[in-house]
A and B are shown apart, each in its own frame.
Chain A
Amino acid sequence: GNSVTQMEGPVTLSEEAFLTINCTYTATGYPSLFWYVQYPGEGLQLLLKATKADDKGSNKGFEATYRKETTSFHLEKGSVQVSDSAVYFCALSDRNQGGKLIFGQGTELSVKP
């Protein structure tokens, strides 16, 4: 079945450091890929998405490229801020499964001043 694997957290970085959170997936079809973010005490928000191979999703300085050959969708940001501290979830949605999202386990990011 479909699945998503993320790097384990927590990840602790200093402000302005480079961020990479790895995400790989397994899917039988052609999924859409997403990164969701959950700030402390809040609900999930879509951060970015990519719907086909080689697409790059970007938002708020974050980027992720849909790599079919490596089945990956790694999240990157060149310079993190304290306000980026949150839990990040990689997810996929497969049309063959009615659009439900399959989530990775989440990666907690803590950015120190």
Chain B
Amino acid sequence: GAVVSQHPSRVICKSGTSVKIECRSLDFQATTMFWYRQFPKKSLMLMATSNEGSKATYEQGVEKDKFLINHASLTLSTLTVTSAHPEDSSFYICSATQGWDTGELFFGEGSRLTVL
């Protein structure tokens, strides 16, 4: 199947700093990528939909200025958590689709962010 890779897998940062997480589709072109957040023992919450070459569409309640998403190419989307605070600590997961035909998403391994 298609491969999606995230980097870094783990990051620890100080409060007030910004952290960038990359999501790459390794063997296919992803016109659309999605960013999810997963809290411990909880389900995945969709944060935003990222389309190549256009602005991301954020879900209700997600701060656009806090979670900056850029989808500069068909194989790369980035999520930047700006001025991170401890409450931003979470597991962030990206996914990508090859197209609607199957509706199937391919997930990255996830990135665990810990803000001290």
Contacts and interface: CB of A to CB of B under 8 A. Distances in A.
B67 interface: no
Interface stretch (A61-69, A75-83, A96-104): A96-104
B24 to A, nearest CB: 14
Contact of B49 (A34, A89, A98, A106): A98
Contacts, number: 59
A106 B43 contact: yes
Contacts of B110: 43-44
Interface residues of A, number: 24
A32 B103 contact: yes
Given A104-B43, A105-B43, A43 B100 contact: no
Nearest to B99: A99
A106 B42 contact: yes
Given A42-B109, A43-B93, A89 B103 contact: no
24 contacts: A31-B103, A32-B103, A32-B104, A43-B93, A44-B44, A44-B107, A46-B1, A49-B103, A51-B103, A89-B43, A89-B44, A93-B103, A95-B100, A98-B32, A98-B49, A99-B97, A99-B100, A99-B105, A100-B34, A101-B44, A101-B95, A101-B105, A104-B43, A105-B43
A100 B102 contact: no
Interface string B98-116: 0010111111111000000
Given A43-B108, A43-B110, A44-B93, A99 B103 contact: yes
